[in-house]
Structure 1
Amino acid sequence: MDLGTQKTYPALVSKRIGSYDVPEGVEVRGGYDPEFARILTRDALQFVADLQREFRNHIRYAMECRREAKRQYNEGASPGFDPATLYIREGDWTCAPVPPAVADRRVEITGPVERKMIINALNSGAKVFMADFEDALSPSWENLMRGQVNLKDAVEGTITFDDKARNRVYKLNDQVAKLFVRPRGWHLPESHIFIDGEPATGCLVDFGFYFYHNYATFRKTRGAGFGPFFYLPKMEHSREAKIWNSVFERAEKRAGIEKGSIRATVLVETLPAVFQMDEILYELRDHSVGLNCGRWDYIFSYVKTFQAHPDRLLPDRVQVSMAQHFMKSYSDLLIRTCHRRGVHAMGGMAAQIPIRDDPEANNAALELVRKDKLREVKAGHDGTWAAHPGLIPACNEVFTNQMGGAPNQIDTTKREDAAGLTEEDLLQRPRGVRTMEGLRLNTRVGIQYLAAWLTGTGSVPLYSLMEDAATAEISRVQNWQWLKYGAELDGDGTRVKVTPCLFGRVVEEEMGRIEREVGKEKFRKGRYNEARKMFIRQCLAPSLDDFLTLDAYNHIVVHHPTNAPSKL
């Protein structure tokens, strides 16, 4: 779905108190706040508008190509390597050298752009903090603009947080993690800013404001090779990487800084992208610092890509681990590709969180994390992700023990054994069983995550895991797939078919459990019933919506009376 085909819903409207100084053709429909005015300056809005105008047709074309690929997959095709770009895959080329400032990325922490989270993550002992405008953030106007303010303060080193409840002031340590920023994907609009009468592209808003307000500080306080750094999500094809490369070049030219100053890591988190890894790096070769195994979205994408293939039903979500052949093949090929091109091959997310009231369960969870990270580092990954500061020491210990004093494994682990991986390896059907507990967990997690997202929280601790939009998407599409094709659930020697009737009963029972777990008062004040209706509608839809958050986004947009676009 592109900006031209976005569904429209009546937006909530609030009274405007102040106004922003906007350039010609730009409307800011989000609420006025003096702090936000630090970000929404006339020149910054002009920079974002210029990006939108220059690249919107390229973005539309890329989204049209996604829809065409989806049509082909739904008619029986499978993604694969493109014969037309064989010369790139077989070519002897490398990306620009990795800047020394980010040569060591053995542990990275991710989280939303909340003020306290930013401080704790930068102080966590991780090598990198990825500040997330995407899967870990509910993109309300308040969250997005407050996030830009927070990041500006963080880059300037002035960020603090006064936690009155704990009588504690949080501030940055002398040594902090390197800051990467993840903007939203190409498909997401920003409906609080209109440019020439249409919603802005979300990722250009996120990138544009952050770059415009912070590149000079990076240059002044850190010097060349120290950023800005980015993570790029949800790509399906190298043509999308080519747009990003052009955006970077345009931004560098506008700022008067050297080509290649901006560096980015691409998340390989869609099934079509695994067949485009060389091509993606090639398009970004002056701006790349590697690829990342975005494994939760990758599982979601497997279902979405094969939504019309009833022979590819996934087993329970908890069984789709990196031990599955198609997942291991994806990781191995990513390592070989990155190291062959001289950049980082980053591992996936450890979604566990500390279990404070159960030491035995906490130790068991940490042991799972250690085993997963040991698998990654032995395979050749240069670093990994963690969702919670409490996991940093365990992840760091595993990678340090294996890599020793080396900052990464780019030159030491080439994984030539992965050269023979085929399309069949990358598409092999996952093995496992489908169970009633799997259906219940999907339902419980999906509804609770949606309820939190609708109230402004995009990263939610549930059942000892940190859930974000990626894991919620797995819950949604798996339920949809099982319902669409009447999957049979295993258990106790019996087989039960998943039907709308069964799903309705499961929803009502799990709603009762959610109410008991969160408490009646919190349940009453939350948006659980709204989330339930939305989740049911998505799971029972005749055709699978591309993204859960596209529909949900329309329920959090709040329009204020707009500035009339300037006619100067």
Structure 2
Amino acid sequence: MINIRPHLQDLYPDVYTPEAQEALAVLAPFNKRIKEVMDQRMQRRARRQQQHERITFLDPQSTIPGTDINVQDARDGKFEGAAIPADLQRQWIQGTGPAAKPNAPVESSIRNVAYALLSGADGWMFDGEDALGQITIMSLDNQRNLKLAIHKDPLFLNVAKQVAAEINRWAESFLGRKTIDNWEDQLNFTTKIFRARGLHLDDRHIRDADGESMAASIVDLTLYVVNNYQALQQAGSSIVLYLPKIQTAEEAGVWNALISALENHLGLAVGTVKVYVLVEQLEATHQLMEIRAALGKHFVGYNTGRWDYINSVSDALAWDKSFVNPNIEAITMTYGYMRNYEDRVRRAVNTPDLNGNFALWQGGMEPNIPVGSEAGVSASMAKAVAGAEREQQAGASGKWVAHWKMVHIVRPVWEKVGQPNQLGREFPRLTYTQADADGLMQLEPAPTDIRGARNLLSVALQYGNAFGQGMQAAALKAADFFGNDDILYLMEDMATGEIRLSILWEWLHKGAVLTEADAATGVKAGDGFSTDLYKKLLDEEYEKLLKADNKDVFDASKTTTLPISKEIAEVYVLSDVKAPWFIDLLNINLNNTDLDEAKDRIRLYMDTLVNEGKRITENLDFVAA
């Protein structure tokens, strides 16, 4: 039995179909298992912080917890994985973004899907996680829009026809040519992929029979697959998911069991659902082959995301005073620990399984948008293409872009090469030495300065504000660059907001040494980053946002969600105990615009974390029927 918030079944009968509700009830028992592994996560994290432990590789002679898979067998490829289906063989460019807009009627909201499927991307990861706003009932709007598009509902087709004309007008002005010849044919080009929320998040609208909030992973998986698998199969398309925030092979095994149970319930062969895994966690890079083995016939590839991964390294080493990240702009994919992380991923996917199957490596995110001055766009697009060329040469079979306008700017990098993928490209097998582990935490000299701190703070404040407004994906830049079209806006999502506060926490609590003098603050090179300095910068950057035009900071937010964002940033960075997830503090304040109420909720969360070692992940506004 499941308990759906009152009236939602009436509002979304096309999402909460009888078939979907039946499947949710079948999978509901997994809720307890997911909560167990999330509790284990928190216990491991607490132990590492208290005992100053670094993450290590698994004992090769042990068994992956929750499975019967021997660790050494997994590393040796002695497991049955998946052959790559036809529609995933070529994924040069995957776009990412949500399938819904906040507080928008369906005809407007569904335009997100139309732009995605007409963009020319080889695949599009419709986001139910980091880029999807969660205010009101956006998660259900997201599911509804995807169903309408996948089933080619007349409403969607009418919108798609209009959007195709808009895309072509832009393409002719920017690229000098149309990119869509026949919009109806173009809708069939892009592989549809869905990113479910991670095991660490709860759904806002469903509780299980015991009154426990339901793991969002169960809900997202079920609603997407049950409502769309038949239409996808009839169209000759694979059912493909991205799985985020996996930390261990044990957690991957939980996902595998969950997906297999749903396949069995629907009468599908095990392995019908294919999954990519986003490598976003330091612990996961220590268990890459083990994660592949645990997901077995479902697994098709890894993606090397940047922002979440940086945050996970920061979080895992919060206890280590010697580990201090520099300015965020310095931590590119070729920086120290990032370079070593990427190398482990490409070696893992190019290790064959028992049947000789390799896996895909999808490169990282390109956050640029070609909107700004001619000089600014030209410089930023050149960097985007250079980044894509580096990843292609390194062995990636494709990469991500955060906006549909970037597809035809970056895709030619792979078109010129012409190979559908780089499956099985030869790299050395993974090793598991102390040097390997050290490399995954390797720092390199880079600036730590006031300009970097201002950028971190300004974007973090804006991101928290955008989240509260229902935009978990937002085009942002530091306030000092508002009005400067040479500095482009970047598409930011939850991970990019989180890592900024995480780095500021490091700088404050580890006494980061500033590498540059700053006349405005009187800071000299060699000074430490202090509490007084942080508070001064916070007040100054906040004041800039209050004075910003409505274009950059909605006027209505300046007395509602922006003050709450400032409160969260202040508590997060000043707290001696580092919060495990920025999104927790944002989630408990969704649909709340009262600052005093927000302060009470933030205090409740931090007190629970400090005194009980637990997170608050439920919807505090959920009223059961």
Quick check: 1:268 aligned with 2:285? no
Counterpart of 2:427, as a letter, is R
- Indicate the larger mover: 213-222 or 543-552: 213-222
Quick check: 1:135 aligned with 2:130? yes
Quick check: 1:218 aligned with 2:252? no
Aligned to 2:597: none
| Deviation for aligned residue 1:384 | 0.5
1:139-189 alpha-carbon deviations (Å, 9 max, x no partner): 2342101111001111112225759x9998998644331011001110101
Aligned to 2:547: 516
Aligned to 1:209: 223
| Deviation for aligned residue 1:339 | 1.7
Measure, in 2, the Cα distance between the counterparts of 1:48 and 1:486: 48
Correspondence 1:152-551 to 2 at 5 A: 152-158=147-153, 159-160=156-157, 173-196=186-209, 197-222=211-236, 226-341=237-352, 342-356=358-372, 358-402=373-417, 404=418, 406-411=419-424, 413-416=425-428, 422-463=436-477, 464-492=489-517, 494-519=525-550, 521-524=555-558, 527-551=561-585
Quick check: 1:105 aligned with 2:91? yes
| Deviation for aligned residue 1:560 | 7.0
| Deviation for aligned residue 1:383 | 0.9
Residues 29, 559 of structure 1: 8 Å contact kept: no
Quick check: 1:126 aligned with 2:121? yes
Q: Secondary structure at the match of 1:495?
A: coil
Aligned to 1:9: none
Cα 1:523–1:512 shift into 2, 3 Å: farther
Task: Give the structure-1-normalised TM-score.
Answer: 0.88
| Deviation for aligned residue 1:209 | 0.8
Q: Which protein is richer in strand relative to its size? A: 1
Aligned to 1:57: 32
Measure, in 1, the Cα distance between the counterparts of 2:386 and 2:95: 18
Measure, in 2, the Cα distance between the counterparts of 1:524 and 1:545: 25
Residues 115, 163 of structure 2: 8 Å contact kept: no
1:394-422 alpha-carbon deviations (Å, 9 max, x no partner): 321112223x2x210113x2222865872
Correspondence 1:10-159 to 2 at 5 A: 25-29=1-5, 32=8, 34-53=10-29, 55-74=30-49, 75-83=51-59, 84=62, 85-93=71-79, 95-114=81-100, 115-158=110-153, 159=156
Measure, in 2, the Cα distance between the counterparts of 1:426 and 1:350: 23
Uncovered stretches (5+) of structure 1, i.e. residues with no partner: 1-24, 564-568
Q: Percent identity?
A: 25
| Deviation for aligned residue 1:337 | 0.9
Q: Secondary structure at the match of 2:13?
A: helix
Q: Please give the root-mean-square deviation of Cα atoms over the aligned residues, in Å.
A: 2.4
1:509-565 alpha-carbon deviations (Å, 9 max, x no partner): 1112223333483454652111111111111112111111112111125857643xx
Residues 248, 291 of structure 2: 8 Å contact kept: yes
Cα 1:538–1:552 shift into 2, 3 Å: same
Counterpart of 2:93, as a letter, is V
Residues 320, 430 of structure 1: 8 Å contact kept: no
Aligned to 1:7: none
Aligned to 2:607: none
Counterpart of 2:144, as a letter, is V
Q: Which runs of 4+ in 1 moved over 6 A?
A: 165-171
Measure, in 1, the Cα distance between the counterparts of 2:195 and 2:345: 20
Counterpart of 1:153, as a letter, is L
| Deviation for aligned residue 1:34 | 4.7
- Indicate the larger mover: 141-150 or 44-53: 44-53
Measure, in 1, the Cα distance between the counterparts of 2:188 and 2:163: 24
Measure, in 2, the Cα distance between the counterparts of 1:232 and 1:311: 32
Aligned to 1:17: none
Size of the aligned set, in residue pairs, is 531
Cα 1:527–1:518 shift into 2, 3 Å: farther
Q: Secondary structure at the match of 2:137?
A: helix
Residues 240, 275 of structure 2: 8 Å contact kept: yes
Residues 162, 168 of structure 1: 8 Å contact kept: no
Q: Secondary structure at the match of 2:499?
A: helix
Give the structure, 1 or 2, with the largest relative contact order (CA under 8 Å, sep 6 or more).
1
Measure, in 2, the Cα distance between the counterparts of 1:400 and 1:193: 45
| Deviation for aligned residue 1:56 | 2.2
Q: Secondary structure at the match of 2:344?
A: helix
| Deviation for aligned residue 1:194 | 1.3
Measure, in 2, the Cα distance between the counterparts of 1:166 and 1:387: 18
| Deviation for aligned residue 1:46 | 2.8
Residues 180, 228 of structure 1: 8 Å contact kept: yes
Measure, in 2, the Cα distance between the counterparts of 1:559 and 1:167: 40
| Deviation for aligned residue 1:267 | 0.5
| Deviation for aligned residue 1:57 | 2.9
Residues 105, 382 of structure 1: 8 Å contact kept: yes
